[in-house]
Structure 1
Amino acid sequence: MKVFLILGAINAFLAVALGAFGAHGLEGKLTEKMLDVYKTGVQYHMYHALGLVLIALLYERLGPGGTIHWAGWLMFIGIILFSGSLYALSMSNVSILGAITPFGGVAFLVAWLLVVFAAVKVL
């Protein structure tokens, strides 16, 4: 589906831009621990941006259906919740933001399981 390819490409762009910002703009401004938190957000952002591209490609092979469609949306929501909360936590040092991160992680896990179910169902 075109929307997941577009979301994947936009999020890959954002992951690269945010990674460069972190490496060049935040070094020396954040503690080493918070810089690591930020880097984790960037890593998972990129992994799942590529996951969205994969879902877009699988959509063509697997055909339209609820399982792969939900996998894409959950992956996108996971990026927002997981990476977004880590970006906000690292820059604000407001620890309660860390409570949001596991919801994003669960969205990632469910998305990947849905990819497996969609593939098993069709292939």
Structure 2
Amino acid sequence: MVLPSKNTWIRIGAACGLLAVALGAFGAHGLKPILLENGNLATFETAARYHLIHAVAMLLPLAYRDRALCAAHFFLLGLVFFSGSLYVLAITDTKWLGAVAPIGGLSFIAGWAWIFLKGGVAED
């Protein structure tokens, strides 16, 4: 299995950050009437907040040795399953997607645990 390089991870993290800010702004302005009608504005805001936090968090392991890069994988999975499911739930009011969010939450937790356990010493 070929893993993405550190430069690729920087681009992925930057793209996730860009998307988090863009979706947050779109939710606050363009989608606000729909989200208020569905009663899902807070859900969308939660997705955007966790999305942005973990876009930045995906970049943290890059300062450490390769063994910490696994955390970035967990954070990316978390973004897809947690924030992704909440975005779709908030926009479409598809309630069953709420059951998908905990998978992403566990992925976020696993990423932070991986950094805690395997982080190691920063590279020169």
TM-score class normalised by the smaller sequence: 0.7 to 0.9
Structure 1 regions of 5+ residues with no counterpart?
none
| Aligned counterpart in structure 1 of residue 44 of structure 2, from 31, 38, 42 | 38
Q: 1:4 aligns with which of 4, 9, 23?
A: 9
The residue matched to 1:29 in structure 2 has which SS? helix
- For structure 1, which segment, 31-40 or 10-19, has the greater mean C-alpha deviation from structure 2 after superposition? 31-40
Matches within 5 A, 1:5-24: 5-24=10-29
Q: Match of 2:32, as an amino acid?
A: E
| One-letter amino acid of the counterpart of residue 9, structure 2 | F
Q: Deviations over 1:80-110 (max 9, x none)?
A: 0000000000011111000000000000000
Equivalent residues, number = 116
TM-score w.r.t. the length of structure 2 is 0.87
- Which amino acid letter does the alignment assign opposite residue 47 of structure 2? G
Q: Deviations over 1:54-77 (max 9, x none)?
A: 12223xxxx222xx1221101101
Q: Does 1:55 align with 2:57?
A: no
% identical aligned pairs: 36
- What is the CA-CA distance between 1:15 and the residue it aligns to? 0.4
Confirm whether residue 112 of structure 1 aligns to residue 112 of structure 2: yes
Q: Contact 1:4/1:55 (CA < 8 Å) preserved in 2?
A: no
Which sections of structure 2, spanning at least 5 residues, go unmatched?
A: 1-5
TM-score, normalised to structure 1's length?
A: 0.87
Give the conservation status (yes or no) of the 8 Å contact 2:34–2:91.
no
Segments ≥4 residues shifted beyond 3 Å: none
Q: Give runs of aligned pairs for residues 78-89 of structure 1, distance below 5 A.
A: 78-89=78-89
User: In 1, distance between residues paired with 2:75 and 2:34?
Assistant: 30
Q: Which residue of 1 aligns with 2:101?
A: 101
1:26-77 deviations in Å (ceiling 9; x for gaps) = 112222730110010000000000001112223xxxx222xx1221101101
> Using the alignment, how far apart are the partners of 1:4 and 1:12 within structure 2?
12
